[in-house]
Homo-oligomer: A and B are copies of this chain.
Amino acid sequence: MVSIKDIAQKAGVSISTVSRTLNNYTDVNPKTKEKIFRIAKELNYYPNAVARSLVQKKTNTIGVFFGNKINSGFDHPFFQDVISAVREVVGNAGYDMLIFTNQKRERGTYTTLSRERSVDGIVLLLTGEGKKRDEHMLELQESGIPCTAIDIPLSGVKCGYVESDNFNGTRAAVEHLISLGHTGIAFIGGDEISKTSYDRLRGYQQALMDHKIGFDPSLITLGYFEKSRAAEETRKLMERGKQITAFIAASDEMAIAAMQTLNEMGYRVPEDVSVIGFDDIREAVYAQPALTTVRQEKYKLGTVAAEVLLNLIDGKDPICQHVVLPCELIVRKSTAICKKS
């Protein structure tokens, strides 16, 4: 490995002169400057980012935490667009992305791992249990490490988070069903720990109340964003003999699972039962029938999360950042007029 020391030696100058030259300082004699650049090229020199980071305390690296479970991170249909957007934004700002994948660490928390690696900021892309606001999350918030998350309410001077307007999202979904004459609307929620799940449930309840329908608690269930759970809950609900003519699920994957289950049970979608999802993942278009759903602006979520993070790093916005992006109801073929009404 060739270092600035080698260049200095060959050029007959000190290493500080080389360093200044390579970093485009102005106070360097044009002649020596040129000489140094020439030798650097001859020797095929490239700077050592590790050494530089050690002294500058800046790695030009954004850390990314995915959940460790399957169907999270790269596998997750929702995060694919998000991470792609993050990549674009931080890349243009001069950062590389470090994905924390090392499994050989026992004591690792978001904070310790980030500090060990000296990343300049981090993005949290977590699902399910990972979203719980546990001690690790609290530690992170107090750490002072610039961080942004999708869908996780982080508070702290160097924290930000971005989410969709989940409340009005499901609300619009319910309104759509009501306008089609539905009143027996079941809800397959997410979990009991995430704000996302909570807000979607609230939107559902609000819409029903707005229209004086009132909600039957027995029509509300949890699918934990898993296909199998959603399928199971769908079956249970239908077998209970309630007057259900429509389903709203807190994710497209669960909605698709619900449609499949309904099909297996002999119900036709949307003739017998309407179904609405949430997210608008790619599969939604290809589903049979094409899924009516609430679209999240996934790419935008990632873009904003990255931009907020960059601001946090640059110290531009010391206040807590919370951005809510609008959703859009995408009507496809899985919803129709309620016949029983």
What is the interface of chain A, defined by CB distance below 8 A to chain B?
1, 46-51, 53-54, 59-61, 73-75, 80-81, 83-84, 87, 90-104, 112, 115-118, 282-283, 285-287
CB distance from A340 to the nearest CB of B (A): 30
Q: Which residue of B lies closest to A302 (CB)?
A: B74
Decide: A60 near B99, CB < 8 A? Known: A49-B118, A73-B84, A286-B286: no
- In the complex, chain B residues whose CB is within 8 Å of the CB of A97: 98-99, 101
CB distance from A199 to the nearest CB of B (A): 27
Q: What are 24 pairs between A and B in contact, CB < 8 Å?
A: A46-B112, A46-B116, A47-B116, A48-B54, A49-B116, A49-B117, A50-B54, A74-B83, A74-B87, A75-B80, A87-B99, A91-B102, A91-B103, A92-B103, A92-B104, A94-B103, A95-B101, A96-B98, A96-B101, A96-B102, A97-B101, A98-B99, A282-B282, A286-B286
- In the complex, chain B residues whose CB is within 8 Å of the CB of A83: 74
B116 and A48 form a contact (CB under 8 A): yes
Decide: A94 near B84, CB < 8 A? Known: A49-B118, A74-B74, A282-B283: no
A102 and B98 form a contact (CB under 8 A): no
A48-B54, A91-B102 known, 18 other contacts, Cβ within 8 Å? A46-B115, A49-B117, A49-B118, A50-B54, A60-B102, A73-B84, A74-B84, A75-B80, A75-B84, A91-B101, A92-B103, A92-B104, A94-B102, A95-B102, A96-B98, A96-B102, A98-B98, A98-B99
- In the complex, chain B residues whose CB is within 8 Å of the CB of A47: 116
Q: Which 6 A-B pairs have the closest CB atoms?
A: A286-B286, A91-B101, A94-B104, A97-B99, A74-B84, A46-B112
- In the complex, chain B residues whose CB is within 8 Å of the CB of A92: 103-104
B99 and A99 form a contact (CB under 8 A): yes
Choice from B54, B80, B102, B104 contacting A51 with Cβ under 8 Å: B54
Tell me, in angstroms, the Cα distance from A96 to B97 when the chains sit together: 11
